[in-house]
Amino acid sequence: MRVGLFRRGTAEPVDLGPCLVHSAPVQRALEATRRWFSYGGLAWPAGPVIGVDLRETADGGVHVTIVAARGGALPRDVVDALADHVEVLRGVGLVEGDPRSSYWADGAVRVLRGPGRIEVPAPDSVGGRLLVPVGGFFQAAPRALDPVHHRMRAHLAPAGGPLVDLYCGVGLHGLALAGPGEFLVGIETSASAVAAARENAGRRGVRAEFVAAPVERVLADLLAGHRPGAVVLNPPRAGCRPEVLEALSARPPGRAAYLSCNPFTLVRDLERLVDGGAVVTTIVPWDLLPQTDHVEVLALLEWPAVRPGPGRTR
């Protein structure tokens, strides 16, 4: 069995062995998972398991999501064997996937063992722990976000109005950036992520409202009632839908920070925002996924017609 990263442009994993990027609990769980894979010939194509997703929990444990080929049977004793091999196991989920794709998982994660939500370590810019639904999106290397949040905060503060966090997930960026007394509004498609975001904000005493809906469906109405002081965007790789960019251009904030995992869709979206009156003041690449060819890019924007003057980022 090979444990590592995909060879570029393929679904073929390259075995990396010990990895300095992983935390100690994840590294130990990786080695235990190698032994588990030998149990009963689990590895695809002989067996049902395409791969596993390991996520560190805040108490030093690991949650494991098993990715199985569609229609593949996973007997109960297989899950029990995983618990025997991974001493720090905090839970197990199961999701179906496509072995021909490097983006395996497809669909909702079914909880096989443990709770439906886990607590994960938060970056220092947020502090403490964050609740995340099993199978929910979260940054692979959250501790690497501190300098990103610092750069965002220097550009956005003071917001001078509500801080709007688009594609907010469990509230990671908004909670890092909301200043004392500022009101946070988050929009996210996943209802389970929104439920976690509400609890994460409540734990920190942040005044917040979170909406469970596609951003493109509700943003225009939200902006019609309240012009935001600042906006944070962290969309999926496909970038923003045109309706989102049109809504921002029609009722722009003072400033915005756009964190993208796809430079190509970022360029497309920035062109549309600039056409709508925005000015891109700074673009910074960030290596948030070490040992991969993925680069996150932070773009800082402002709308001079809305908020000219001091505080611009150079």
Distance from C-alpha of 138 to C-alpha of 130, rounded to nearest angstrom = 10
State how beta strands 255-260 and 279-286 pair.
unpaired
Q: How far apart are CA 241 and CA 257, in angstroms?
A: 17
**What's CA 103's distance to the chain center, in Å?**
15
Per DSSP, what are the bridge partners of residue 91? 63
Question: At CA 23, angle to CA 100 and CA 43, rounded to 5?
Answer: 30
CB 313 within 8 A of CB 301: no
List phi, psi (to 5°) of 66: -90, 130
Helices within the chain (DSSP H only): 24-37, 76-85, 146-156, 172-177, 191-204, 215-225, 242-250, 263-275
Q: For 141, which DSSP code? A: S
261 assigned to active site: yes
Q: Which amino acid is it at 168?
A: C
Task: Evaluate whether 208 touches 184 at the Cβ level (below 8 Å).
Answer: yes
The C-alpha R_g of the chain, in whole angstroms, comes to: 21
Extract the tokens encoding 34.
């190698």
Cis preceding-peptide flag for 310 (omega within 30 of 0): no
Q: Tokens at residue 306, please?
A: 């809305």
Query: How many C-beta atoms lie closer than 10 Å to residue 163's C-beta?
Result: 27
Residues tagged active-site = 261
